Structure 1
Amino acid sequence: MGTCASKPPRRNPYLPRDFPEQLQTPENEDHRDDSSAAGKPSFFYTPSPIRFFLSKKKSPARRSSGNSTPSRILKGPFPPPSPAKHIMAVLTRRRPGTGTEGGQEAGAGLDKRFGLSKRFKDRYEVGEEVGRGHFGYTVSATCKSGDRTGQKVAVKVIPKAKMTTAIAVEDVRREVRILQALAGHDNLVQFYDAFEDDDKVYIVMELCEGGELLDRILARGGKFTEDYSKNVLVQILNVVSFCHLQGVVHRDLKPENFLLKAKDDDSQLKAIDFGLSDFVKPDEKLNDIVGSAYYVAPEVLLRSYGTEADVWSVGVIAYILLCGSRPFWARTESGIFRSVLKTDPSFIEQPWPSLSTHAKDFVQCLLNKDPRKRMTAAQALSHPWIRDHNGVEVPIDIRILRLLKAYTLSSPLRKAALRALSRTLTADDLFYLNKQFRHLAPEKSENVTLESIKTALTKHATNAMKESRITDYLTWLSALRLDFDEFCAAAVCVHQLESFDRWEQHARCAYEIFDKDGNRAIVIEELASELGLGPSVPLHAVLNDWIRHTDGKLSFLGFVKLLHGVSTRSHKRLR
């Protein structure tokens, strides 16, 4: 949605210094297709500026320049066309900034009233422009009255003439709502007020004078020490986890959207630009393709994603901080998409061999292409590489609510299997779970209940949590009462454990425990009933393989399948 707060106007950092000024901003950059306004999915994509460079210089691969993040050459042929082909076709059909569509004035007939105060010019004295994006620009201003008299602020100005579609108007409305609703985090740009007049919308925020994180990356040649990278990532993960707990997904996390409060080396980071953000429930999936090319998650391209997409973007930032190059790169937009979907980032080139094993594992866990296996922001803060850095606090993880709901709806047989699995967890796994248990259990209590969860969430709640209706999700947990051992069984993430090299050992050990303590003779009909499956013959044929023919007990295959089991109640609702 354009720049925010105090982004300084500057040349495109991804292009060489001798690149023509007039070509530095692609014509179709930073926009979003409005087809969803007519009942079709909407799209947003910031295309790679590389193609404009290649159109002038027919180089087989982009050369690394002194003021840009070094690129990487992808080897080998790409797989068959990905969803990128469809996305590019949508973008080709629409060119923003023309002012007309179909021979009529763009945006004609749209209601561009936001219900905001119209006294902006009475309250603020506008200064110089400090940043510009495709959809708007940012100016400094001085407050003329009220509690902040004399204080300098940043004002994001969005011309209503740029709002040529219903989806563009809705994006601005939602950005204002989210900024108004989110409050109280040190790494979130502070929102002060919003105004409008007949021509513009004004969003007033704190002024950050230290520039973008991207500028800091480029100034240092794209490589940081592990300690400095930790300082940056702790702040990013903290604010991302906070947003997710409130039910807000940012959807455009990148170094350009983090500002430094001041010019000091240890200055505080501030997340900005919520123009593409949205509200999301713990188990809700979004489907519109939004974000910026190098940072977009695979599941976003596949049009089914949640808060995990933000964590992928943090993983890309972490990769760039530690090694100075992008994990996914190509010469064209569709190539970038295919790279994100099909290739794995390299960890064999310098400086990765000289970095710690924990640092490499940390980035790999963030860049897992399967969102179910990817760490959450809260889990990342409990990772061994980062958890002991300067007193890191592990916040409440929104994914815990989803896991507790799944456990509540599980069959007794699956609960027994999960309890066996939880007894094989490592100290690192238990560190994270203990932090979550202590957040959600009352002080000095040994049990997590519905009321204790409500109390814990209330301590961190903002108006955004009400907008996303997170508390409504808790109705599934009405009969919840878990001690620490059962809480571990409920909160263990099977998909994540499967991504570790030690998964086979985990599963085998858990099966031995289950076979000794909870396994018993079982018939197919009982197993089908436990899983909530109907009397379908094909299903019974599959379940037959889950049972040992020697004694009628659950086999190892059946045990592993049961760990991923379905809820009895959900299947009964479907029948």
Structure 2
Amino acid sequence: MGCFSSSGRHSISKNDANNTPSQIIHTKEDIKIDASMFVGHRNGQVLEHYKIGSKIGSGAFGCVRIGTHIITGQKRAIKTIQKESISADLTEREKFFSEVDILRKTDHPNIVKLYEFYEDEKYFHIVTEFLQGGELFDYIIKNKMLSERAAAVFMKQILSAVAYCHSNNIVHRDLKPENLLLECETPQPNLKVIDFGTSAIFNSSKHMTKKYGTAYYIAPEVLRKDYDEKCDMWSCGVILYILLSGKPPFYGRTDRDILRMVEKGEYSMKGTIWSTISQGAKQLISRMLDYNPKHRISATEALMDDWLAQNTALDSPVQAIPLSSLDNLKSFRAEQNLQRAVLTFIASQLLHNEDSKQLSEAFRNLDKNGDGKISREELLEVYTGIMGLEAASEEVEKIMQQVDVNDSGYIDYTEFIMATAQREKMINQMNLEAAFKVFDSDESGKICAQELKSLLGEGGSGNETMWIDLIREVDMNGDGEIDINEFKAMMMSLVDSHK
């Protein structure tokens, strides 16, 4: 049982265990807790954790099936790749691992969430959220063309995801309606960018040279094999053109014909359909389809475009955000590092989409510049409208201290969900048992300091005493480890304190 040998274990007396939190607690700067910590590479059989259901997609190297998480009952998408099918193809193997690595780093309401990555003798399995609304491509076909307001709402979500990626030096390289999935089937569904298999980490001082993309949406400079992240903005321009007109700007009977048109970069916004579309929409398309990538608009600039702002404007930012979310954000308290870590895990891995849907909308409404994170200034604007500048300034500083658990200087998406979700939905028996299993990596039935260090320490770093002290904060019986009852008591105290 446990992680240390008897000779190597630090003994903790009952007197130590009874120390008050103020005597032993470390400040949150000791550990920067991030949602990516919990996107684990799991060994063993995926069938131990999921019931595998029907196939929802297939490709040259594998398929995607619906998987039901055995503990939580959540439906997820499981992409399975046969190892031998990509072992000889270095490009496909590189794309596969690139998708895993990049999705681990993303935390945005409009980017598909990666939960886990499994590997067994024959297969790789990527487990992501299951999006039931289908492709934006099918939505366009069904609706033929969209109103400017509907197109702008979708475009803002796409651009927000792209701006977030570019700010983190991620370029997608295959943006198209087929890689934009809808969360559910509603009149105005939330949209998620998927398929990061061709994405890459880019260097702003060095252009990319590998040709990736799909004929209709590929940028002309990609065909020349000399491009930067602005290639994604060309694809966004093509998508907006299609959303508004129902037709692509560059077309032909074959891919070769289409690529010839793309190389020329000539397109038209004339005719009956375009006569009904506003000048503002046309100008934004023109700025995204600027043939010269140096002059092409960036995602951040596009988010501030007048046409986009006017068609997605809220009457009042305060009224658009539920007061319950603002109250929960203001009252969020988790004094122990381990409590913050468990809440981050539950918020990022276990909450159902239905539970976080309203919170996702509140996050987007607070995130006024659409960059996928909430700044002090954005918080201050909303709380000033409620309580005045002086009180709001003090409150925002408290919120940042409590909620910004990875010390980024912003409230990230998972941090916002963690702080604003109803405690009873997050902290329940099922979620706590699932969380305990992740923290108890050796399945001994107890969590020890070494397990915390492996899970929460960057590369297993951190002063040894710090991890021992984390155990002490929760260890009621003084045995140097945390059992399931101590773990649950630690988390249930947050529910009691919130009542």
SS at match of 2:95: helix
2:206 paired residue number: 284
1:227 paired residue number: 149
State the distance in 1 between where 2:410 and 2:56 align: 36
| Residue 166, structure 1, aligned to residue 90, structure 2 | yes
Shift of 1:136: 2.6
1:177 paired residue number: 101
User: Given that residues 246 and 461 in structure 1 are in contact (C-alpha distance below 8 angstroms), is that contact kept between their aligned partners in structure 2?
Assistant: no
Shift of 1:133: 2.5
Q: Partner amino acid for 1:117?
A: N
Shift of 1:440: 11
Shift of 1:283: 3.1
1:352 paired residue number: 274
Q: Partner amino acid for 2:155?
A: L
1:375 paired residue number: 297
State the distance in 2 between where 1:362 and 1:168 align: 35
Q: Partner amino acid for 2:106?
A: L
2:238 paired residue number: 316
State the distance in 1 between where 2:409 and 2:70 align: 36
How do 1:70-219 residues align onto structure 2 when only pairs under 5 Å count? Answer: 116-145=42-71, 149-163=72-86, 164-183=88-107, 185-219=108-142
User: Given that residues 82 and 124 in structure 2 are in contact (C-alpha distance below 8 angstroms), is that contact kept between their aligned partners in structure 1?
Assistant: yes
Shift of 1:280: 1.1
User: Given that residues 320 and 326 in structure 1 are in contact (C-alpha distance below 8 angstroms), is that contact kept between their aligned partners in structure 2?
Assistant: yes
- C-alpha distance after superposition, 1:493-531 (max 9, x if no partner): xxxxxxxxxxxxxxxxxxxxxxxxxxxxxxxxxxxxxxx
Shift of 1:115: 6.5
State the distance in 2 between where 1:205 and 1:301 align: 31
Q: Partner amino acid for 2:90?
A: A
State the distance in 2 between where 1:207 and 1:233 align: 22
Q: Partner amino acid for 1:259?
A: L
Distance 1:460 1:278, change over 3 A: farther
SS at match of 2:211: coil
| Number of equivalenced pairs | 294
1:386 paired residue number: 308
1:31 paired residue number: none
Shift of 1:457: 6.5
Q: Partner amino acid for 1:119?
A: Q
User: Given that residues 375 and 410 in structure 2 are in contact (C-alpha distance below 8 angstroms), is that contact kept between their aligned partners in structure 1?
Assistant: no
State the distance in 2 between where 1:177 and 1:385 align: 35
State the distance in 1 between where 2:234 and 2:162 align: 11
| TM-score (ref. length: structure 2) | 0.55
How do 1:135-534 residues align onto structure 2 when only pairs under 5 Å count? Answer: 135-145=61-71, 149-163=72-86, 164-183=88-107, 185-221=108-144, 223-391=145-313, 458-459=409-410
Structure with more relative contact order (C-alpha pairs < 8 Å, separation 6 or more)? 2
State the distance in 1 between where 2:413 and 2:229 align: 18
Distance 1:343 1:216, change over 3 A: same
SS at match of 2:51: strand
User: Given that residues 171 and 200 in structure 2 are in contact (C-alpha distance below 8 angstroms), is that contact kept between their aligned partners in structure 1?
Assistant: yes
User: Given that residues 251 and 277 in structure 1 are in contact (C-alpha distance below 8 angstroms), is that contact kept between their aligned partners in structure 2?
Assistant: yes
Consecutive unaligned residues of structure 1, counting only runs of 5 or more, are 1-113, 394-431, 445-454, 464-575
Distance 1:355 1:327, change over 3 A: same
User: Given that residues 311 and 377 in structure 1 are in contact (C-alpha distance below 8 angstroms), is that contact kept between their aligned partners in structure 2?
Assistant: yes
State the distance in 1 between where 2:233 and 2:411 align: 20
Consecutive unaligned residues of structure 2, counting only runs of 5 or more, are 1-39, 318-367, 381-388, 390-405, 415-499
State the distance in 2 between where 1:282 and 1:135 align: 32
1:47 paired residue number: none
SS at match of 2:117: strand
Q: Partner amino acid for 2:169?
A: G
SS at match of 1:389: helix
State the distance in 1 between where 2:213 and 2:261 align: 16
- C-alpha distance after superposition, 1:65-103 (max 9, x if no partner): xxxxxxxxxxxxxxxxxxxxxxxxxxxxxxxxxxxxxxx
State the distance in 1 between where 2:59 and 2:287 align: 33
State the distance in 1 between where 2:276 and 2:150 align: 16
State the distance in 2 between where 1:133 and 1:167 align: 15
Shift of 1:150: 1.0
SS at match of 2:43: coil
Q: Partner amino acid for 2:262?
A: V
1:532 paired residue number: none
State the distance in 2 between where 1:456 and 1:298 align: 40
SS at match of 1:294: coil
- C-alpha distance after superposition, 1:409-430 (max 9, x if no partner): xxxxxxxxxxxxxxxxxxxxxx
- C-alpha distance after superposition, 1:377-413 (max 9, x if no partner): 11111111112333489xxxxxxxxxxxxxxxxxxxx
Shift of 1:441: 9.5
RMSD in angstroms over aligned alpha carbons?
A: 2.9
- C-alpha distance after superposition, 1:477-498 (max 9, x if no partner): xxxxxxxxxxxxxxxxxxxxxx
Report the structure, 1 or 2, having the larger helix content: 2
- C-alpha distance after superposition, 1:45-64 (max 9, x if no partner): xxxxxxxxxxxxxxxxxxxx
Distance 1:150 1:240, change over 3 A: same
State the distance in 2 between where 1:200 and 1:350 align: 52
User: Given that residues 238 and 249 in structure 2 are in contact (C-alpha distance below 8 angstroms), is that contact kept between their aligned partners in structure 1?
Assistant: yes
Shift of 1:439: 7.0
User: Given that residues 208 and 259 in structure 1 are in contact (C-alpha distance below 8 angstroms), is that contact kept between their aligned partners in structure 2?
Assistant: yes
Shift of 1:135: 3.3
Distance 1:180 1:151, change over 3 A: same
State the distance in 2 between where 1:167 and 1:246 align: 23
State the distance in 1 between where 2:270 and 2:199 align: 35
Q: Partner amino acid for 1:142?
A: T
SS at match of 1:161: helix
Same amino acid, percent of matched pairs:
34
Q: Partner amino acid for 1:172?
A: F
SS at match of 2:78: strand
State the distance in 2 between where 1:291 and 1:276 align: 8
Shift of 1:174: 1.2
State the distance in 2 between where 1:325 and 1:115 align: 42
